[in-house]
Structure 1
Amino acid sequence: MTHNKEESVMNGLDMTVMFVYFGVLVVAGIIGSLKAKSSEDFILAGRNLGMFMYLGCLSAVILGGASTIGTAQLGYEHGLSGIWFVTMIGLGIITLGTIFIKRISSLKVTTISELLGKRYNAQAQIISAVVAAIYTLMVSVTQVIGMGTIIHALLGWNMTASMLIGGSIVLFYTILGGMWSVTVTDIIQFVVMTVAIFGFMLPISVSEAGGLKALAGDLPSSYFDFSSIGYGQIFQYFLLYTLGMAVSQDIWQRVFTARTEKIARNGSIFAGVYSIAYAIAGSVIGMCAYLLLPNAESSQSIFATLAVQILPQGLLGLVLAGVCSALMSTASGTLLASSTLISNDIIKKVWLKNISEKNYLILTRVNTLIVGVLAIVFALWIQDVLVALDVAYAILSGAIFVPFVVSLFWKDIHPKAGVSAIVVSTLVVLGGLLIEGLSSTTPILYGISSSIIVMAGFAVMARNKELSDREPVSEDVK
């Protein structure tokens, strides 16, 4: 009886913490909406973010609920080797900052598809926009499901109501102010997420497990082997996330919000380093859970289960609000990315080429609403899209990465090379997934290889044509 009474008090206090937090996000969204006066304000926060705001919003979008919950799960199952999932995300952001940002920051484009359209042709822009929009929509769906899981675990509501509440809050402030609202809420979420994980969950987990000496003495030796998860799995994470981050529209859209190239570059590097630290913290939390909850029914929900067991009243609400923060940041960023791709690279490019600034802003808001409703509906319908998300990442990495890199470093590539490479490699990736299974890594390699072959083929044809044009005409022909 005492346990039930304590649990009900805890739920009441934590419920208050969550509602206050959600209220703050709504107010922050309204404040952000006051700045969204133009489409550039709505989509890119006026390209005017300083270092702290840029670092906060970029870190918040790359570290979603899957990063938090998934890394704890991997730490529970594999130990320190669980860091590779989020570490590869961090390496992808560092790669973006050190290699690509200098080349893309001066282009003044809004989307990666727009860049491909400029370097190749309109078909490349439209096809890559469709692929990227589907990917970002799928990421949004996973975040809505994650929000529902956390709210359900904390408040005891059914999953449908939990997903509706979480998804609707994100959709509300994203529609209001676009990237400005997303940025304001991301800063709050970044701070809450950081305090929750590094300030409370990590030190309390280690303390409850008996300290670092207990972890070193009681855990299996394999838990301290960084490769125990398997080199194949580590390579898969590299293909999916390191390459995927470089061509992900939700990441790009954050990059374009920076006031200067220096802020974009350094902020991306710092965000990547922060991600690696986050990966270590999540894995250690999972390792602590292995000692404290050795017979847990589900390793997938180990983070929430551990939090409920070790955190005091009120603090539980804050920590789980931190997880919701990660989910909401990614959800808002991917919703806006998907609607931007549809508005900028499909509708405006094909049908409304001369749309006014005012009507374009309205169009983007309407598309954000439609994409958000679709994300919530899909989340309620299927409730598990992790395999679909892997497929989306596989297409993104396998089909778009090579044309993107070539567009930056090869000035004289044939205009049709990009769209041909995207179409061929997408078909190759999908065919490989159907034959080898949806969790297979090799189709990504097939896609990258086919892109390179197509690009090389166009280069050879262009070279042959150039040589034939240079050949002197014989006297007989004259």
Structure 2
Amino acid sequence: MNILDCIVLALSILAVFAVGVLSGRRSRASASEGEFLMANKSLNKLQAGFSTAATDFGGSGMVGAIGYCYVVGMSGIWWNLTAAPAFLIVGFLFAKAFNRMDSATLPDYLGKRYSPAVKLLASVMHICSNVALLSSQFTIACAVLYTITGFSMTFCLIICLLLVICLTSGGLRSVVNTDAVLFVIIVVSLVVAVPIVLHAGGGLESIAARLPDGFLRVTELGFWTPFSWFLLCFIGYSTNQNYVQRMAAAETEDTARFGAIFSGCFYLIISVILGIIGVSAAVLMPGIEDSNAVFPELLLRFFPHGLIGLGVAGVFAATISTATSILHATTTLIVNDIWVPLRREKAVGVVRVSRAMVWVVALLSIGISMVSQNIINVIYISGLFYGACVFVPMVFGMKRSFANANGALASMLAALAVSLAWEYLPRFRPAVLEALPSNVVGILIGAIVLTAVSKLGASGSPRKTNHTQIEE
């Protein structure tokens, strides 16, 4: 990077920082729990759409997906493409229901629908999952900074840590508004990248002619792998606080639905763009062992100065937007679902504790990022750990009155045990079912257990709550 690249990168970061600080003033001035955690349910369509898309499209969606397409070919686009139908389905099935939900978090809703034990288990599982996800974003951001600038990893970690904490400390409104700016940076950087790599490779036809047989086919991964990714996305968007919070905080039900549908349409386009960049890189730079280094190397070798800075800003935008969203969501879970119910006095305000938790969670995630390796695997397992276990109680709680607390608790524990065993102990899989992904098996077992235990009347009739108010 030369001085021009540094200026472009610095201006991008300063723009994001300025928006974050200005947006956070409202939260700091009011010191309101509703403003800090939920932006007082006032997100408009632009905020909901841009923020939801930027929240999900993190470092794995950009750097990880380009590297994956570099290794397996165009079929690697399924890592992002499966998000499109998942978002669209969630938008039509659940977005309005989440907006009507009288809870700040999904575990909080589950606690009202079932029992405090269900709420606590769901919250703890979600927090663990989010900490793992946040660590993957720090890993990508630091890897890119280290590759491009040569700064020490410690220095890169400090930069990422301080920026994410600063933007998150302003509350949800600050996170959402900076997401909008970061989304624009992401889109511009990737749109600019396509003509650069195609020109460097002599055009699309020249690149295609130099690729191995089948490298441009999208069927190389078969059926079950893309399906498991779709299911991972669908479950995640239906249960993860990062997305539920945006739908719940939207100013209207239609706005909540728009945010999910906009994100699905975004993924239809961006997945193809990333695939083109990845397979082009396979021709331009064969032999790179670390797939996470593909895009940074592409920037250094083929981008003109100035645009290198824009490319780095795009990677930073992707990782930071997701990191701030995950960090704020995790803070909300800790404070709203664990700290508030346990506190004996109200001398310490929720906003003050929330800002303290921002530091705690960020530092813990930084520690994990120092030892994490396979980004996609981290994301898949973290989704398996929480989403596959909570999805069934969430759907049954909204749609089926017979589901009760014991059934929900048993379902979550059974889904967790079976899905993890299916993933890590393949020798115990029945031969006829061994092709089934872990999250599919976990959901099926969870549904069976919840139905059986609830029907047996283990805890009597279901809790009388307002859950029927959020049915479609």
Shift, 1:149, TM fit: 0.8
Map 1:450-469; keep pairs closer than 5 Å.
450-462=445-457
Aligned to 1:27: 18
Gaps (5+ residues) in structure 2?
428-433, 462-472
Map 1:105-254; keep pairs closer than 5 Å.
105-175=99-169, 177-198=170-191, 200-254=192-246
For the residue of structure 1 that corresponds to 2:370, the secondary structure is helix
Aligned to 2:404: 414
Aligned to 2:443: 448
Within the alignment, does 1:430 sit opposite 2:424 as a pair? no
Q: 1:354 to 1:457 in 2, by over 3 A?
A: farther
| Residue 383 of structure 2, aligned match among 365, 380, 393 | 393
Given that 1:197 and 1:322 are in contact with CA atoms closer than 8 Å, whether structure 2 keeps it comes out as yes
Give the stretch that moved more between structures: 75-84 or 323-332: 75-84
Give the stretch that moved more between structures: 127-136 or 409-418: 409-418
- Overall identity of the aligned pairs, in %: 26
Count of residues in correspondence between the two structures: 452
Give the letter aligned to residue 65 of structure 1.
Answer: G
Aligned to 1:298: 290
Q: Hey, what's the Cα distance between the residues in 1 that align with 2:87 and 2:344?
A: 33
| Residue 352 of structure 1, aligned match among 323, 340, 343 | 343
Shift, 1:222, TM fit: 1.2
Q: Hey, what's the Cα distance between the residues in 2 that align with 1:427 and 1:19?
A: 47
Please tell me the root mean square deviation across aligned C-alpha atoms, in Å. 2.3
Give the stretch that moved more between structures: 77-86 or 51-60: 77-86
Q: Hey, what's the Cα distance between the residues in 2 that align with 1:414 and 1:392?
A: 26
Q: 1:210 to 1:166 in 2, by over 3 A?
A: same
Q: Hey, what's the Cα distance between the residues in 2 that align with 1:115 and 1:465?
A: 20
Once the two structures are superposed, what CA deviation does each residue of 1:374-424 show, in whole Å capped at 9, x if it has no partner?
Answer: 112322355666544332111223211111111111123223221221122
Q: 1:12 to 1:297 in 2, by over 3 A?
A: farther
Given that 1:117 and 1:124 are in contact with CA atoms closer than 8 Å, whether structure 2 keeps it comes out as yes
Give the letter aligned to residue 139 of structure 1.
Answer: L
Q: Hey, what's the Cα distance between the residues in 2 that align with 1:84 and 1:149?
A: 24
Within the alignment, does 1:340 sit opposite 2:335 as a pair? no
| Residue 16 of structure 1, aligned match among 7, 31, 51 | 7
Q: Hey, what's the Cα distance between the residues in 2 that align with 1:144 and 1:465?
A: 46
For the residue of structure 2 that corresponds to 1:239, the secondary structure is helix
Q: Hey, what's the Cα distance between the residues in 2 that align with 1:100 and 1:416?
A: 24
Q: Hey, what's the Cα distance between the residues in 2 that align with 1:400 and 1:244?
A: 10
Q: Hey, what's the Cα distance between the residues in 2 that align with 1:290 and 1:70?
A: 14
Aligned to 2:69: 75
Shift, 1:82, TM fit: 1.4
Given that 1:78 and 1:222 are in contact with CA atoms closer than 8 Å, whether structure 2 keeps it comes out as no
Give the stretch that moved more between structures: 367-376 or 411-420: 411-420
Given that 1:395 and 1:444 are in contact with CA atoms closer than 8 Å, whether structure 2 keeps it comes out as no
Aligned to 1:473: none
Aligned to 1:4: none
Aligned to 2:323: 331
Q: 1:465 to 1:264 in 2, by over 3 A?
A: closer
Aligned to 1:46: 40
For the residue of structure 2 that corresponds to 1:49, the secondary structure is coil
Within the alignment, does 1:322 sit opposite 2:314 as a pair? yes
Once the two structures are superposed, what CA deviation does each residue of 1:126-180 show, in whole Å capped at 9, x if it has no partner?
Answer: 10000111111111111111110111122110112112211221112211x1111
Given that 1:92 and 1:246 are in contact with CA atoms closer than 8 Å, whether structure 2 keeps it comes out as no
Q: Hey, what's the Cα distance between the residues in 2 that align with 1:151 and 1:117?
A: 42
| Residue 96 of structure 1, aligned match among 90, 99, 108 | 90
Given that 2:228 and 2:440 are in contact with CA atoms closer than 8 Å, whether structure 1 keeps it comes out as no
Shift, 1:29, TM fit: 1.9
Gaps (5+ residues) in structure 1?
1-9, 467-478
For the residue of structure 2 that corresponds to 1:272, the secondary structure is helix
Q: Hey, what's the Cα distance between the residues in 2 that align with 1:218 and 1:422?
A: 49
Q: Hey, what's the Cα distance between the residues in 1 that align with 2:335 and 2:13?
A: 29
For the residue of structure 1 that corresponds to 2:96, the secondary structure is helix
Q: Which has the higher helix share?
A: 1
Shift, 1:111, TM fit: 0.7
Q: Hey, what's the Cα distance between the residues in 2 that align with 1:430 and 1:323?
A: 32
Aligned to 1:85: 79
Given that 2:9 and 2:313 are in contact with CA atoms closer than 8 Å, whether structure 1 keeps it comes out as yes
Given that 1:164 and 1:376 are in contact with CA atoms closer than 8 Å, whether structure 2 keeps it comes out as no
| Residue 265 of structure 1, aligned match among 246, 257, 269 | 257
Q: 1:235 to 1:17 in 2, by over 3 A?
A: same
Q: Hey, what's the Cα distance between the residues in 2 that align with 1:312 and 1:427?
A: 51
Q: Hey, what's the Cα distance between the residues in 1 that align with 2:325 and 2:459?
A: 45
Given that 1:68 and 1:323 are in contact with CA atoms closer than 8 Å, whether structure 2 keeps it comes out as yes
Shift, 1:33, TM fit: 1.3
Once the two structures are superposed, what CA deviation does each residue of 1:308-340 show, in whole Å capped at 9, x if it has no partner?
Answer: 111111111111111110000000000111111
Q: Please give the TM-score of this superposition, normalised by the length of structure 2.
A: 0.90
- Higher alpha-carbon Rg: 1
Given that 1:141 and 1:385 are in contact with CA atoms closer than 8 Å, whether structure 2 keeps it comes out as no
Given that 1:105 and 1:261 are in contact with CA atoms closer than 8 Å, whether structure 2 keeps it comes out as yes
Q: Hey, what's the Cα distance between the residues in 2 that align with 1:60 and 1:229?
A: 26
Shift, 1:299, TM fit: 3.0
Aligned to 1:474: none
